[in-house]
Structure 1
Amino acid sequence: MTRRADAPTVDLTGMMEKILAKVRTYNQHADEDKLWFGFRFASAAHEGQLRKSGEPFFAHALTVTSILADLRLDVDTLIAAMVHDVVEDTRYELDDIRQRFGADVAHMVDGVTKISGIRNANPDARKAETYRKLVLAIAQDPRTVLIKLADRLHNMRTISALKPDRQQDIAQETMDVYAPLAHRFGMARIKWELEDLAFKVLQPERYFEIESGINQTRTERERLIQRLVDPLQAALDEAGISCTLAGRPKHFYSIFRKMKAQDIGLDRVYDLLALRVVTPTKADCYHALGVLHSHYPPLADRIKDYIATPKPNGYQSLHSTVRIPGGKYIEVQIRTAEMHERSELGIAAHWRYKEGGGADKADLADMVKWLRQIMEWEKDVDDPREFMKALKVDFFDDEVFVFSPGGDVFQLPRGATPLDFAFRIHSEVGFRCTGAKVNGRIATLRSELHNGDSIEILTGKNPNPSTGWLDIVKTSRARYHLRKWIKSTQYQESVKLGRELLEKDIHRGKFHVKVDALVDISQQMGYSALDKLLAAVGRGEVSTAKVTGRLEPLQESAAEKVFTKGKELYGALLRRTSSGVRVAGEDNLMVSFARCCQPIPGDGIVGLITRGRGVSVHRMGCSNLNDPNLGAERLIEVTWDSRPDQMYLVKLTIEAEDRKNLIMDISNALSRTNSNLSSGDFSAEDDVATVTLVVEVTNLNNLEKVIKELDKVAGVQRIERFQLGVAPS
């Protein structure tokens, strides 16, 4: 905003008087003192601030308030509109609003205030987070959306004061976000005006082309509509149906969309002016439709019953396109007076002040129930842009109507798949889905559903979802249930593996352990529960050594300490003199096994003389031995001479179908071979699980038995021995 000394004079008090005059027409008991207090507070807060047009900035807030007064809204909403820019553009904070006007007003103001304190250089992420905040505020108090839409409507009406590039940005945002928002809340009157104003900025040539064409044919269209109105009014009167008939002009942007979708010119858009019939009751709507069709033949595929099946935004009406004399077609909409008010005002109709009562809270709860559910489904989405992407599917996209085999009608966003339909029925149906039939024919789960499709979901006995389904589903409901399932399944498997690994290390190290001690350790390491620490161990994020390092070993008696020390010395001597490998015929040399290729008895091996670590034993063909700087003189002959009970570590990589209980089945397979699991790791991507195990084996024959048993596990596709550094054979 700018500050100019030569700003034009605007009578702010006069604007406020006109707002109060509107309020008195529908609410004679309004607290005018509270409204004046809001006026004086906001006027003082914005004093000296000007809009780009040079008008006082507070004039914008008063105009927004006036728009909402036209909708007959309550006092708190009008005050929130008056002060809606105070927190964002003045020194006052939200607590100041709360203290002066109460929690409801403060909540609405907070909902429409842009997020500015996020430390994020990406403006798209910041804007998306602002949308997320707005949607959350709307879900908690739907009046927030009325203020935001009125605010955007006035900004669009005065957009010519801005620079062209700024006009383009605001108009595009209006078309992408705010017009669909008005549509989703059933506010057709505001939606149409927002679309036409944005259309005029974004495509001025097409806008004026359509405007000119409509003005040239206005007289002819009005004559055509009158040719239908007079005889239809007489027929309805004769049938005893009390109703009113009026023409409804089609808006410029909707005409443009139709021309573009059907690739036709303006001269071939026949429903530039539709006829609306408003009746007293729902029964009269259907009676009137029968009278209409008895006099004018309808187009069979252009009859729509939105009374029996309302749109998600609550819109209800009967639509029928009929042919009138002269070969012309006109769309007729039939609805009750209440339906008409809701179609024009949407959610605002529920907040209109009514003598003797306030808003219909039960109806409002139904209108925003879907929005609160979306917020619940998307609460774990950290990226605000990902949230916005998901919201556009559920919130802004057009709908398709599909049928169950029993004839029940379901609404889904355009682009939805049979999997979305399965989860729409029930989460268990989604989890057990194995396939689908669309219109009686087998269809893939990725198939896009269309209006009128009949869907039958094929299910199995047991749940079997996969991570790949996240790429198929479009609705937040389906994504929420899938993420929850995957997270829970992988979490439980990680906990089980982590517990097994930790128990083995505890047993091996003879630690003194109590459950309380492990709980304390988990909290010390930053985990709120023991299972979360075990899951981290199972996923390989935390080593067992980090956990056992915090445990206290068992207290030994003096005799036990002597025995333990003697056993350790004997073991060290045994390892030194009996490593399982002879070097050039000698068995008392320092030997280590190369980690790069992990040789075990049965492998062809060769020794490499190292500096300070004795002889490093490698598998034949290990590419680390091909380094020309090693020198042939450092290679030495080695042979196996291991004990039957001597254990060696081998790393295996398993690729398998990602499924429930996979880790448990792998663990059971290892148990059947009496093999110890030293450590492990688990990950999954695109329906494929990758399991990395480090197991103890005695020799190559033992390893082959382990691999054979693991290969029997259902879903295992490939098992590879760790071969880093081993040249391909």
Structure 2
Amino acid sequence: MAAETTVDDLIGRVRAYNPKCNENLIRAAFDYGARMHDGQFRHSGEPYFTHPVAVAMIVADQKLDDATIITALLHDTIEDTGSTWGEVAEMFGREVAELVDGVTKLTNLQLSSSETKQAENFRKLFMAMAKDMRVILVKLADRLHNMRTIKSMRPEKQIQKARETVDIFAPLAGRMGMQWMREELEDLTFGVLNPEGRTSIMRRFVHLRDESGDVIEKITNDIESELEKAGITAEVYGRAKRPYSVWRKMEEKDQGFSRLSDIYGFRVIVDSNADCYRVLGAIHERWRAVPGRFKDYISQPKSNGYRSIHTTVSGRDGKRVEVQIRTNQMHDVAEVGVAAHWSYKDGVQSENPFAVDPAKWVATLNERFDTADDHDEFLEHVKLEMYTDQVFGFTPKGEVIKLPRGATPLDFAYAIHTRIGDSCVGARIDGIRVPLWTRIRNGQSVEITTAEGQRPQATWLDIVATGKAKAAIRRSLREDDRERFVKLGRELARVAFEHIGKVASDKALSTAARHLGLRDSESLLARLGSAELTARDVVETLYPELADGAGDEVATDRAVLGLSQGQDSKRGLCCQPVPGERIVGITYRGQGVVVHGIDCPVLSDLADNPERWVDLHWHSGRHGPVHTVTLNVAISNDSGVLGRICTLIGEQKANISDLKFVERKPDFYRLLIDVDLRDAEHLHTVMMGLEADSDVASIERHRDYERKP
């Protein structure tokens, strides 16, 4: 169709809904676009300008304003031709130039690239939406036409574009209320990503029609007959659902086509809200309603302005059919969603009372993403927000809370206020106490119980379904971790400084932080506590001459003897041998020689490879405290115990390089403590000192023989 479309065809379509359109400006844009794209061709061999014309026709079908029509005609000129922003602004006005520039920038976003880049590009996409929603409307029309003509592209390019479309553009169209576009985009991608599946569904539709005749016409007549009896004037439309929609239902319900009943959809369009409910009464009086399949989006509209009543009934021959009931104005918004804000009718911008102000709509969408501190979190928010279908819950006072399908009482609590979510300890649904992971259903009343001192748990992340709740929980966990890390870091710093006869004063820590490029002493302590930095690093920064103790120690690179010239060695992570223990070396390709304790179980696997064994022994001198050994320690969960344990290790002239909690019980903690030691005797002294403490339940050397060398 696009190849044959003339400027008169386009203007005729625009004038049908906007007789006052600027015909001359549209004609000028058509001529300018044709001239700039002259000599360019699509993959199909058609002149390239057939694409912008087709996009303009799609935009015109949504009854949009002149600026959007002209933008559609020119959306590729700045990117693909010699045209410039200034030239477009001079000829067609600054508004059009800004819109064309916005579409160009969106076209250059690689939305299917790596996670980090994808998140940043999503931010840019939403910034473009916030600036002017019409940029997205043109971009969606551009993607729709590209998907309609995708067969001319290379197979690998088809798959990439189809995945990007089903992941991003189709749900975005749905989130904007453009359900018809979402369905078509999904169905077009279905044909690319699963052509056999789509063909199978189509064949079954044909078989069903041959078997039972034109069911749609029969059910339409049935509905019209019932409405006529009730004295209701209405238009009734019926259709079979798109193949992709049917396929998704089969996947979700794990049912075959023959068992899937609600594959037909019907719309009843009336003049008033009152008539909507009269139609509902007439339909429910004639056919049995299917429990749990009723939604009243008139009394509780979706955030994108969508209003309609949805009900599913057992119709002719027991076949389930979905019926949507709405007024003409609701139907206009349902067809074009947020775009209804710009729609024209009879030459004036439509004053549709149900059209959502796009600025407010984008603001509510964006506020969910503003709190995202990292890329993964932001992407998660975007996808959660775009894919959701809604449920409505009620507070005890009757206030309505909108949530995505699958939301839990925790999501409900965070939707009310972050403080309520953070302190949530329980919930009641319809007066009955339920677990926090319970899924809320439409119309249920939810009461949240809070307690002072309650904090979010890490397990909550697996319970909640909304981006807002996930962001708040992660933020709280980070704050809690930081507080704990700062406390632990302060203790590690104190012990390390006392080890060399110094005091870890605020001034000393601030000076060390500045030299290490950190913001302040608290940042340094947080990194120290989280093992991103070692106490030794801090001490060496301020007192390099004291950090290693006496100067007659064996140099680290000479600690092991028996290596050939040029051979490097490193200690095995599995057994962590220390000076004073018998050792053997094993050669590993690309890693030099790895030093193992003679009793390491790993060696038994290498018994048949004697050529890889190297006879090694430790230097007989005094070694520095640089040999890390992991201790598995269980301590009482009492105030001050951890600090005393750190002090005990420091008193033995050993340094804690890492500390990890592996088990938390009400009465004890189990920790893995990495201690930097001199030799086997030093290890024995430290373990004996800890074992003698009354708050140490057990202590043993931790060896992880699963760790690779």
What TM-score do you get using the length of structure 1 for normalisation?
Answer: 0.68
Whether the 8 Å CA contact 2:308–2:330 is kept in 1: the answer is: yes
Partners of 2:528 and 2:617 in 1: CA distance: 42
CA distance change for structure 1 residues 322 and 531 in 2, over 3 Å: closer, same or farther? closer
Equivalent residue, structure 1, for 2:48: 57
Equivalent residue, structure 1, for 2:374: 380
Partners of 1:378 and 1:347 in 2: CA distance: 25
Aligned to 1:338, which of 325, 329, 339?
329
Matched, 1:692 2:682: no
Partners of 2:183 and 2:503 in 1: CA distance: 73
Whether the 8 Å CA contact 2:237–2:267 is kept in 1: the answer is: yes
Q: Please list, as runs of the form range in 1=range in 2, the aligned pairs for 1:162-241 lying within 5 A after superposition.
A: 162=153, 167=158, 170-171=161-162, 173-199=164-190, 202=195, 203-211=198-206, 213-214=208-209, 221-237=216-232
Partners of 1:505 and 1:83 in 2: CA distance: 67
Matched, 1:534 2:510: no
CA distance change for structure 1 residues 139 and 692 in 2, over 3 Å: closer, same or farther? farther
Structure 2 SS opposite 1:537: helix
CA shift, 1:69, in A, is 2.1
Give the count of matched residue pairs.
630
CA shift, 1:403, in A, is 5.8
Which string of whole-angstrom CA distances, capped at 9 and with x for unpartnered residues, describes residues 95-114 of structure 1? 98789845741563145313
Q: Which runs of 5+ in 1 are unaligned?
A: 1-7, 238-242, 554-563, 565-570, 576-594, 600-604, 609-620, 637-646, 712-717
CA distance change for structure 1 residues 656 and 441 in 2, over 3 Å: closer, same or farther? farther
Whether the 8 Å CA contact 2:649–2:656 is kept in 1: the answer is: no
Q: Which runs of 5+ in 2 are unaligned?
A: 554-574, 584-596, 604-612
Of stretches 345-354 and 135-144 in structure 1, the one that deviates more from structure 2 is 135-144
Matched, 1:666 2:642: yes
CA distance change for structure 1 residues 211 and 392 in 2, over 3 Å: closer, same or farther? farther
CA distance change for structure 1 residues 689 and 286 in 2, over 3 Å: closer, same or farther? farther
Which string of whole-angstrom CA distances, capped at 9 and with x for unpartnered residues, describes residues 574-620 of structure 1? x9xxxxxxxxxxxxxxxxxxx97899xxxxx9999xxxxxxxxxxxx
Structure with max Cα Rg = 1
Structure 1 SS opposite 2:383: helix
Whether the 8 Å CA contact 1:63–1:154 is kept in 2: the answer is: yes
CA shift, 1:329, in A, is 6.6
Structure 2 SS opposite 1:53: coil
Which string of whole-angstrom CA distances, capped at 9 and with x for unpartnered residues, describes residues 4-34 of structure 1? xxxx99578x33x443444455556656676
Matched, 1:151 2:151: no
CA distance change for structure 1 residues 246 and 662 in 2, over 3 Å: closer, same or farther? farther
Equivalent residue, structure 1, for 2:690: 703
Structure 2 SS opposite 1:57: coil
CA RMSD, Structure 1 to Structure 2 (Å): 5.5
Equivalent residue, structure 1, for 2:234: 244
Matched, 1:490 2:476: no
Whether the 8 Å CA contact 1:115–1:129 is kept in 2: the answer is: no
CA shift, 1:480, in A, is 1.0
Whether the 8 Å CA contact 1:650–1:722 is kept in 2: the answer is: no
CA shift, 1:56, in A, is 1.5
Whether the 8 Å CA contact 1:132–1:388 is kept in 2: the answer is: no
Matched, 1:276 2:268: yes
Which string of whole-angstrom CA distances, capped at 9 and with x for unpartnered residues, describes residues 396-446 of structure 1? 254455566677654444444554444344333433344556677776555
CA shift, 1:218, in A, is 6.5
Aligned to 1:475, which of 456, 466, 477?
466
Matched to 1:247, the amino acid is Y
Partners of 2:89 and 2:523 in 1: CA distance: 40
CA shift, 1:146, in A, is 1.5
Which string of whole-angstrom CA distances, capped at 9 and with x for unpartnered residues, describes residues 132-164 of structure 1? 643553355433332222112212333343456
CA shift, 1:80, in A, is 3.4
Equivalent residue, structure 2, for 1:617: none
Matched, 1:74 2:69: no
CA distance change for structure 1 residues 665 and 327 in 2, over 3 Å: closer, same or farther? same
Whether the 8 Å CA contact 1:313–1:346 is kept in 2: the answer is: yes
What TM-score do you get using the length of structure 2 for normalisation?
Answer: 0.70
Partners of 2:35 and 2:533 in 1: CA distance: 59
Of stretches 136-145 and 291-300 in structure 1, the one that deviates more from structure 2 is 291-300
Partners of 1:700 and 1:525 in 2: CA distance: 33
Matched to 1:245, the amino acid is E
Whether the 8 Å CA contact 2:178–2:335 is kept in 1: the answer is: yes
Matched, 1:108 2:107: no
Whether the 8 Å CA contact 2:661–2:670 is kept in 1: the answer is: yes
Whether the 8 Å CA contact 2:418–2:472 is kept in 1: the answer is: yes
CA distance change for structure 1 residues 674 and 705 in 2, over 3 Å: closer, same or farther? farther
Whether the 8 Å CA contact 1:491–1:535 is kept in 2: the answer is: yes
- Identity in percent: 33
Partners of 2:127 and 2:670 in 1: CA distance: 36
CA shift, 1:349, in A, is 0.9
